[in-house]
Amino acid sequence: MSRALTPQPDSPQWAALALILSVTGVSQLTFSAVPPVLPELATALGVSRGAIGVVHGIVAVAGIFLSGYLGYLADRFGRRRVVRSALLIYGAFGSACFFAHDFWLLLGLRLVQGVGATLLMSIGIVLIGDIFSGPRRRWAMGLNVVTITVVGTIGPIAAGVIGAGGTFRPFLLYLLAFPVWVAAGRLAGPGEDVTPARPLAHLREALADLRQRRRLSDFLGILPLSMITLAAYMGFTQAVAPLFLERAYGLSTTQRGLLLAVGAGTSSLASLASGPLATRLRPARVMALGLVLEAAGFTVIGLAPALWMVVLGLALVGAGYGLFTPVLQTFATSAGRARHRGVLVGTWVTGNRAGMFAGPWAATALAEAIGEQDSYLVGALVVGAVAVAWVPLRRLAAARLR
């Protein structure tokens, strides 16, 4: 990697990036800390394996309704206030889940935790968009996804080890939000370009600007694309996979955590390759390649006669996710003007959160109905259909909006 693409270690940009990655890393525990203990949680809470996916996915519900508004608040009042408030909510309600041995109480705490998680899981790319531009932005965005996938690798392992000593112990990992809250005090306060408009007016202004720039169709197109692909990824890799590994192969929480980390590891490598590939190929082709790899991974798992093929399938799914996610994030942060970045990213994240919520419970319900392994073939069909259809639909939408 050339020095031209890398911030100098003693520069303010480097310090800011380290803080951004810390926020991103903590937020990724939202989902990676729970999957290894899902079978044991179902038993402890007295619910079916088909229902336990709701505990995993309900944390995304707040994002469906609040992502755009929280992005607006970050535009209006500055990043620091909103980030620190989100970290407090996230850490307090997430760690309180350790004491919630009732199904409905646990759902309630996870729901409120999701208010903080909603902002934390998107603010990193907003801040990268504020600080970096051009090739440096792609490089930083790749590091952001690498952080997500590294924590996605370590998180299940740590949760599996901790969960072996107590089913609810992995929720204590959310206490890590508090030291990051202290560090987040160094974020820049509100800038000079504070937006006085009300939320809906601010969003309408942002969409009008996108239309003038001829980027509106692409922006609207990534909303359902993100929702569907994330629903499949979260549902089948983080909710169904631990159930399948426990039932079919009798793996312990620690073993399940280690295998779930395989996909996160390949996702890290693919994220690093995504930026260079996007400079050589069209970003649309990189995204299509990622979708094809994800569909192929689901197919391998659905047909796997042995554990090693399941591991191969998880690796392929992770690689696909790692390829297309940085491309989506880069577009979401660069489509509009800096003054609209928070509300636009928040609007995009709304689709993401819908997928993150719907994916786990829909996938676990499907797996209970037709069998865990067969459900992966349905996932392959869905992602494969998206890979084939999204480019022609994008062209059609662009023509209509002109």
Q: By mean pLDDT, which of 71-85, 273-287, 356-370 is the weakest? A: 273-287
The number of folded domains in the chain is: 1
CA pair distance 190, 212, nearest whole angstrom: 27
Evaluate if residue 230 carries a pLDDT over 50. Answer: yes
Let me know if residue 221 belongs to a domain. yes
More confident residue, 339 or 369: 369
Report, as an integer, the average pLDDT of 239-268.
85
Please give the residue range of the domain that contains residue 76: 10-401
Q: Give a three-class secondary structure readout of the chain.
A: CCHHHCCCCCCHHHHHHHHHHHHHHHHHHHHHCCHHHHHHHHHHHCCCCCCCHHHHHHHHHHHHHHHHHHHHHHHHHCHHHHHHHHHHHHHHHHHHHHHCCCHHHHHHHHHHHHHHHHHHHHHHHHHHHHHCCHHHHHHHHHHHHHHHHHHHHHHHHHHHHHHCCCCCHHHHHHHHHHHHHHHHHHCCCCCCCCCCCCHHHHHHHHHHHHHHCCCHHHHHHHHHHHHHHHHHHHHHHHHHHHHHHHHHHCCCHHHHHHHHHHHHHHHHHHHHHHHHHHHHCCHHHHHHHHHHHHHHHHHHHHHCCCHHHHHHHHHHHHHHHHHHHHHHHHHHHHCCCHHHHHHHHHHHHHHHHHHHHHHHHHHHHHHHHHCHHHHHHHHHHHHHHHHHHHHHHHHHHHHHHC
CA pair distance 79, 119, nearest whole angstrom: 10
pLDDT tier at 396, thresholds 50, 70, 90? low
* pLDDT of 2: 38
Let me know if residue 2 belongs to a domain. no
Let me know if residue 1 belongs to a domain. no
Report, as an integer, the average pLDDT of 48-64.
80
Residues in the chain, how many? 402
Q: By mean pLDDT, which of 102-111, 251-260, 272-281, 384-393 is the weakest? A: 272-281
Let me know if residue 242 belongs to a domain. yes
Q: Could you tell me the pTM of the whole model?
A: 0.70
CATH number of the CATH domain containing 204: 1.20.1250.20
Condensed to tens digits (0 to 9), the pLDDT of residues 24-55 reads 888 888 878 888 888 888 889 888 877 787 88
CA pair distance 303, 375, nearest whole angstrom: 11
Evaluate if residue 195 carries a pLDDT over 70. Answer: no
Which range has the top average pLDDT, 102-111, 137-146, 191-200, 215-224?
Answer: 102-111
The average confidence (pLDDT) of the chain is 81
CA pair distance 222, 227, nearest whole angstrom: 8
Evaluate if residue 270 carries a pLDDT over 80. Answer: yes
